[in-house]
Amino acid sequence: MSEFVSGRHFLHTPGPSNVPDRVLRAMDRNGINHRGPEFGALGRAVIAQMQEVFQTRGIIGIYPSSGTGAWEAALVNTLAPGDRVLVNRTGQFAHLWEQMALRFGLDVVALETDWRHGADPAAIEQVLEQDREHRIKAVFVVHSETSTSCMSDIPAVRQAMHQHPAMLMVDAISSLGCCEYRHDDWGVDVTIAGSQKGLMVPPGLSFTAISDKALAASRAGGSRRSYWDWEPLVTANKTGFFPYTPAMSLLFGLHEAIRMMQEEGFPRVFARHARYAEATRRAAHGWGLELQCADPGAYAPGVTAIRVPDGHSADKLRAVILERYNMSLGNGLGRIDDKVFRIGHMGDLGVLSLTGALTGVEMGLRAAGIPHKAGGVLAAMAYLASTD
Ligand code: PLP
């Protein structure tokens, strides 16, 4: 049998997301001197663009790394071994961040969730109220928990912290560019993001938005660090240059990607994500399948995790969909391994790409023998048509 598969691969993982042709073209060029004037202008431009994306006037750090690198940078710049931190166990990414904190010798206090809700501000408030000696130095929250497709309400978490001096650290890796995010107004101290999701750029860049308070904490202490040190980023923000060879191809791409978002207008970008997410949920309801996120107020804009009925394998479903329909979906992670499949609908996506992806899922459900009702795609189409 021929190995040839016709048609374009449907990439519907929740990161990496699809890279628009304009971004691919922007990266398709020779390198430039990273110590020359052209690069300085590019560096300053992308930093200004990222300030707009993060909604901050503060320092932006750009690393040639995946998002995990920016997690590490946040920890080693602001916290020292033995410092106490409050983590919210909302899903697999919160778990991985917690594991990293433990490896750095931080003293972790954890709040559990059932992985079907976001962080609970009331529970955070209670823990911080009891921390009269202010031993907790930071609160970690994952804004969009990509493994469960549940959001945490960052302004509500900030509100729950009241006057407690702990820093608020937010992982916005799968939310930035998909929905409103306001680093300054929400009082976040460190926000972490990556290039490969809502920002429509290939993997390889990570970002941190850093508040004055977090910068002061890093200057006063933190852990031993070298490559991840924030201090050179302060200089980079003024000059546009980096202390090492920057990932310039990705920066060319980022510049173009954010230009596209600016042209579309951020409110429209966010409304588009909300609409596609709603259409995807309507499809899931039409199929009679349950969403992993059990809180309708917390649905994520860029990804939807859908549970398969007990006794069935989400991985088998994904394998069938990949083999027959040439589409990649996200797998279940950690404790929901094989129990959910995740449809990524973030970044560069049109209505027909989305309905095509949903069609692939519906056909896959049938082919894999997963009990479901027909009509999910029709429900999504009806919603999309009524909101044109
Ligand atoms: N945090 C969240 C919410 C994520 O979705 C991911 C990746 O999917 C990460 C952290 C880890 O980022 P990376 O894989 O870029 O290191």
Q: In this structure, how many other beta carbons lie within 10 angstroms of the beta carbon of residue 135? A: 13
Amino acid identity of 299? Y
Structure tokens at 319: 């394998």
**Is the CB of residue 201 below 6 angstroms from any atom belonging to ligand 1?**
no
pLDDT band at 4, cuts 50/70/90? confident
Q: Are residues 174 and 76 in the same domain?
A: yes
Ligand 1 centroid to residue 244 C-alpha, Å: 24
Closest CA to 281 of 258, 267, 265, 297: 297
Ligand 1 centroid to residue 171 C-alpha, Å: 9
Please say which residue of 262, 278, 313 terminates a domain. 262
Q: How does pLDDT run across 126-154, given as a tens digit for each residue?
A: 999 999 999 999 999 999 999 999 999 99
Is 65 among the domain residues? yes
Buried b (16+ CB within 10 A) or exposed e, 96-134: bbbebbeebebeeeebebebbbbbbbeebbebbeeeeee
Is 102 among the domain residues? yes
Ligand 1 centroid to residue 93 C-alpha, Å: 7
Q: In what order do the strands lie in the sheet with 10-12?
A: 10-12, 327-331, 340-344, 303-307
Query: What are phi and psi for residue 111, nearest 5 degrees?
Result: -110, 125
Closest CA to 99 of 114, 112, 110, 113: 110
User: Which residue lies with its CA nearest to atom 5 of ligand 1?
Assistant: 146
Q: How does pLDDT run across 64-73, given as a tens digit for each residue?
A: 999 999 999 9
Q: Please check whether residue 191 is in contact with residue 206, taking contact to mean a CB–CB distance below 8 angstroms.
A: no
Range 92-107 average pLDDT: 98
For residue 143, the ligand 1 atom closest to its alpha carbon is 3
Domain count, the chain: 2
For residue 144, the ligand 1 atom closest to its alpha carbon is 3
Confidence at residue 5, expressed as pLDDT on a 0 to 100 scale: 82
Ligand 1 centroid to residue 33 C-alpha, Å: 31
Range 51-57 average pLDDT: 98
**Is the CB of residue 344 below 6 angstroms from any atom belonging to ligand 1?**
no
**Is the CB of residue 39 below 6 angstroms from any atom belonging to ligand 1?**
no
Is 3 among the domain residues? no
On average, the pLDDT of the chain sits at: 97
Q: Which CATH number fits the domain that encloses residue 119?
A: 3.40.640.10
Ligand 1 centroid to residue 263 C-alpha, Å: 27
Q: Which CATH number fits the domain that encloses residue 362?
A: 3.90.1150.10
Closest CA to 333 of 142, 166, 185: 142
> Which of 146, 148, 176 is the pocket-test mutation for ligand 1 (most atoms within 8 Å of CB)?
146
Closest CA to 97 of 128, 132, 53, 67: 67
Closest CA to 331 of 109, 15, 5, 52: 15
Q: Are residues 184 and 226 in the same domain?
A: yes
**Is the CB of residue 280 below 6 angstroms from any atom belonging to ligand 1?**
no
Is 58 among the domain residues? yes
Does 45 score more than 70 pLDDT?
Answer: yes
Range 231-244 average pLDDT: 92
Please say which residue of 262, 279, 311 terminates a domain. 262
**Is the CB of residue 148 below 6 angstroms from any atom belonging to ligand 1?**
no
Q: Are residues 207 and 95 in the same domain?
A: yes
For residue 68, the ligand 1 atom closest to its alpha carbon is 16
Amino acid identity of 3? E
Please say which residue of 262, 296, 320 terminates a domain. 262
Is 147 among the domain residues? yes
Structural domain harbouring 286: 10-17+265-385
Ligand 1 centroid to residue 173 C-alpha, Å: 6
Q: Are residues 340 and 376 in the same domain?
A: yes
Does 2 score more than 80 pLDDT?
Answer: no
By DSSP bridging, strand 206-210 and strand 190-194 are antiparallel
Q: Are residues 270 and 256 in the same domain?
A: no
Structure tokens at 384: 């999309």
Q: How does pLDDT run across 248-276, given as a tens digit for each residue?
A: 999 999 999 999 999 999 999 999 999 99
Q: Are residues 97 and 143 in the same domain?
A: yes
**Is the CB of residue 66 below 6 angstroms from any atom belonging to ligand 1?**
yes
User: Three-state secondary structure along 277-344?
Assistant: HHHHHHHHHHHCCCECCCCHHHECCCEEEEECCCCCCHHHHHHHHHHHHCEEEEECCHHHCCCEEEEE
Q: How does pLDDT run across 152-182, given as a tens digit for each residue?
A: 999 999 999 999 999 999 999 999 999 999 9
Q: Are residues 272 and 191 in the same domain?
A: no
User: Which residue lies with its CA nearest to atom 12 of ligand 1?
Assistant: 67
Q: Are residues 196 and 225 in the same domain?
A: yes
Is 104 among the domain residues? yes
**Is the CB of residue 93 below 6 angstroms from any atom belonging to ligand 1?**
yes
For residue 146, the ligand 1 atom closest to its alpha carbon is 5
Q: Are residues 367 and 277 in the same domain?
A: yes
Structure tokens at 64: 């040639």
Range 302-327 average pLDDT: 98
Q: How does pLDDT run across 173-223, given as a tens digit for each residue?
A: 999 999 999 999 999 999 999 999 999 999 999 999 999 999 999 999 999
Does 1 score more than 70 pLDDT?
Answer: no
Range 316-327 average pLDDT: 97
Q: Are residues 198 and 287 in the same domain?
A: no
Is 2 among the domain residues? no
**Is the CB of residue 194 below 6 angstroms from any atom belonging to ligand 1?**
yes
Q: Are residues 197 and 208 in the same domain?
A: yes
Q: Are residues 242 and 310 in the same domain?
A: no
For residue 96, the ligand 1 atom closest to its alpha carbon is 10
Range 310-334 average pLDDT: 98
Q: How does pLDDT run across 269-305, given as a tens digit for each residue?
A: 999 999 999 999 999 999 999 999 999 999 999 999 9
Q: How does pLDDT run across 347-369, given as a tens digit for each residue?
A: 999 999 999 999 999 999 999 99
> Which of 89, 90, 93, 205 is the pocket-test mutation for ligand 1 (most atoms within 8 Å of CB)?
93
**Is the CB of residue 146 below 6 angstroms from any atom belonging to ligand 1?**
yes
For residue 145, the ligand 1 atom closest to its alpha carbon is 3
Is 5 among the domain residues? no
